[in-house]
Amino acid sequence: MSYYGQWYRRKENGELKRAKENQKKSKEIIEKTASKVTKIVNAVQYPKQDYNYDLIPDIVDNIKLPKTKTSNKINILMFFPWMITGGADRFNLSLINRLDKEKYNVIVILTEPNKNVLRQEFEKHAIVYDLTSFIDQKYWLAFVNYIIEKEDINVIFNSNSKFGYYVLPYLKARYSKLPIIDYIHMEEWYNRNGGYSRYSSMLDSIIDKTLVCNENSKNILQEHFGRREEDIKTVYVGVDEDEFDPAKYNKEKLLEKYSLDKNKHILSYICRISEQKRPILLLAIINKLKEVRKDFKVLVVGEGNLLSKMKAKAKELNLDDYIQFLGNIEQTEEIYKISDLTINCSIKEGIALTSYESLSMGVPIVSSNVGGQAELIDENTGILITCRQNEKDIYKEEYNQEEVNDFTNAIVEILNNLDKYKENCRKRILDNFTLKAMIKNMSKIIEDVYKEPSNEKINNGEDLKNNINITKEFITINMMNDKIEYEWECKEYEKKVYGIAYSKEGLNYKHELIKEQLWKFTIWRKFIKIIHKMKGKENG
């Protein structure tokens, strides 16, 4: 199993220490035990991609355990992809942490391989099962059924889990009275033309309530995907105003801690360093800003697949004096406290959690005007910049100079009027966007859906019962569509955790795509060459 199942306290007189000191005796015990093993057992290491059109069993008859006794609590089964340090994951953690433990019991199922650095934090408040770490994909559905029966689940909650969406039609067919809620953080047009907004909308006939983190996403679900207004509800993520309170931190000590010049303005860029966040655009902005003023330093906080590329590009542009890479930092409150403003140049957001946190810490924001950012950031708390890059071009690193100039001018404007902006930031959060308000809204929605599930959705589930094999085939098709990507995630996990390099047989997803494209290119090149030769255009 590819995770820490428990923490082991080492003692001076413990069994492990005694076993190490008496290796001869330990070896005898091992050999004696091994001699009794007559059947060959092949080792299995998770995570692994192992599904290939097998018939999916939905029940495993030999697994029968009594139901967990949970008094009169509402038992929620939540599907998440993983537990990393992203904004969606921290929202999930805040939700589970703050739900009333006297009223709710939470079980979480994870569905995609990753180094789940927040797992221990989640396990303080919920039971967690990472399907990728202990069970073959073929049996995932059977395990989900087992958990629903064992834990007497009352509500299904899915957020950003593809497998979670794949199993919803089956679960509604099997448990038609079980209400379903999903939460969408943003729509992604570069991901299957809509991302999770599309997944959700294709299954709207069985989902009782779809929650979104901003009004813009709600409008898109209605206008583009044809959803009904009564099936959608906006629940702002919010921020813990007590944790993100600037009065709790000493700026001078923190500047000293991070070895920063107190005479320079500090600009922070806190995010996952990936394509969606456009880190290379940030470098273009810094490069332009240093032409205007020299009294600043940009702190880059976070990690991601583009971090090494970003560092190399920064060096190429001679930005070493203007940028400092800090990696992942758990106490981001410290960074906000020493910052004069934060920068968000994402091509896509719902409402960035970092924007909530920044304003709560009294720090204004310069941000791309994408998603629901305009619902949080107003003219008194920051400046919004028109995004001039098409979303489908997310992997291109060619940016409009006008957008670079707009970011630069906005940063200068705020730095020149810092007091004016800073005085309004925290008030904006306290008036409208606290974590307490979010939990109150979420709790009411969950309770309402539990008490009064949609009769229409129940009837739709009953109709599916006669076609339950179709719902299982729906799972099969989607799992096969994800086969190459899932295999790549497994290899990435091994590389991160064990430092295992890719073998020739285990080429990653991108390499497989490159091989396929090269093969197609070679075939077409030969074909065109033949045509040209036939036409007497050898050098065409």
SS3 75: strand
Mean pLDDT, residues 31-42: 87
Q: Is residue 377 part of a domain?
A: yes
Q: Residues of 157-169 as b/e, b for ≥16 C-beta within 10 angstroms? A: bbbbbbbbbbbbb
- For the record, the structure tokens of 21 come out as 């000191």
- For the record, the structure tokens of 419 come out as 């007091």
CATH number at residue 465: 3.40.50.2000
pLDDT at 528: 65
Q: Are residues 254 and 341 in the same domain?
A: yes
Residue type, 304: G
Report the alpha-carbon angle 193-194-199, nearest 5: 110
pLDDT at 252: 95
Q: Is residue 346 part of a domain?
A: yes
Q: What is the pLDDT of residues 377-391, one digit of tens each?
A: 999 999 999 999 998
Q: Which of 375, 399, 433 is the last residue of a domain?
A: 433
pLDDT at 59: 81
Whether 101 shows a pLDDT value over 70: the answer reads: yes
Whether 284 shows a pLDDT value over 90: the answer reads: yes
Q: What is the pLDDT of residues 436-494, one digit of tens each?
A: 999 999 999 999 999 999 999 999 999 999 889 999 999 999 999 999 999 999 998 88
Mean pLDDT, residues 80-93: 90
Q: What is the pLDDT of residues 155-185, one digit of tens each?
A: 999 999 999 999 999 999 999 999 999 999 9
Whether 217 shows a pLDDT value over 50: the answer reads: yes
pLDDT at 461: 95
Q: Are residues 413 and 515 in the same domain?
A: no
Radius of gyration of the chain (CA): 26
Q: Residues of 422-455 as b/e, b for ≥16 C-beta within 10 angstroms? A: bebbbebbeeebbbeebbebbbebbeebbeebbe
| Cα 101 from Cα 103, distance rounded (Å) | 5
Q: Are residues 113 and 226 in the same domain?
A: yes
Highest mean predicted confidence (pLDDT) among 7-11, 63-67, 73-77, 514-518: 73-77
Q: Are residues 373 and 419 in the same domain?
A: yes
Q: What is the pLDDT of residues 338-359, one digit of tens each?
A: 999 999 999 989 899 999 999 9
Q: Which of 409, 433, 457 is the last residue of a domain?
A: 433
Q: Are residues 232 and 126 in the same domain?
A: yes
Altogether, the residues listed in the chain come to a count of 540
Q: What is the mean pLDDT of the chain?
A: 90
Question: Please, which pLDDT band fits residue 521 given cuts at 50, 70 and 90?
Answer: low
Mean pLDDT, residues 272-294: 95
Question: Please, which pLDDT band fits residue 192 given cuts at 50, 70 and 90?
Answer: confident
| Cα 5 from Cα 16, distance rounded (Å) | 17
Q: Are residues 117 and 138 in the same domain?
A: yes
Q: Is residue 20 part of a domain?
A: no
Q: Are residues 154 and 206 in the same domain?
A: yes
Q: What percent of the chain has pLDDT over 70?
A: 90
Q: Is residue 426 part of a domain?
A: yes
Name residues whose C-beta falls within 8 Å of residue 310's C-beta, 6 or more positions apart in sequence.
273, 279, 280, 282, 283, 300
Q: Are residues 314 and 446 in the same domain?
A: no
Q: Is residue 464 part of a domain?
A: yes
Q: Is the peptide bond before 57 cis (omega within 30 degrees of 0)?
A: no
Q: Are residues 211 and 269 in the same domain?
A: no
| Cα 347 from Cα 304, distance rounded (Å) | 16
pLDDT at 529: 67
Q: Is residue 27 part of a domain?
A: no
Q: What is the pLDDT of residues 391-414, one digit of tens each?
A: 889 999 999 999 999 999 999 999
Higher pLDDT, 58 or 229: 229
Q: What is the domain range of residue 516? A: 507-540
Q: Are residues 170 and 207 in the same domain?
A: yes
Q: Are residues 420 and 375 in the same domain?
A: yes
pLDDT at 480: 94
Mean pLDDT, residues 21-33: 88
**CA distance readout (Å), 216 to 186, 224, 289, 312, 376:** 9, 12, 31, 36, 12
CA dihedral 493, 495, 499, 502 (to 10 degrees): 140
Q: Is residue 2 part of a domain?
A: no
pLDDT at 65: 66
pLDDT at 20: 79
- Give the total number of structural domains in the chain: 3
Q: Are residues 450 and 421 in the same domain?
A: no
- For the record, the structure tokens of 90 come out as 């921290």
| Cα 470 from Cα 384, distance rounded (Å) | 47
Whether 514 shows a pLDDT value over 80: the answer reads: no
Whether 509 shows a pLDDT value over 90: the answer reads: no
pLDDT at 25: 87
pLDDT at 391: 87
Q: Is residue 466 part of a domain?
A: yes
What's the DSSP call for residue 68? P
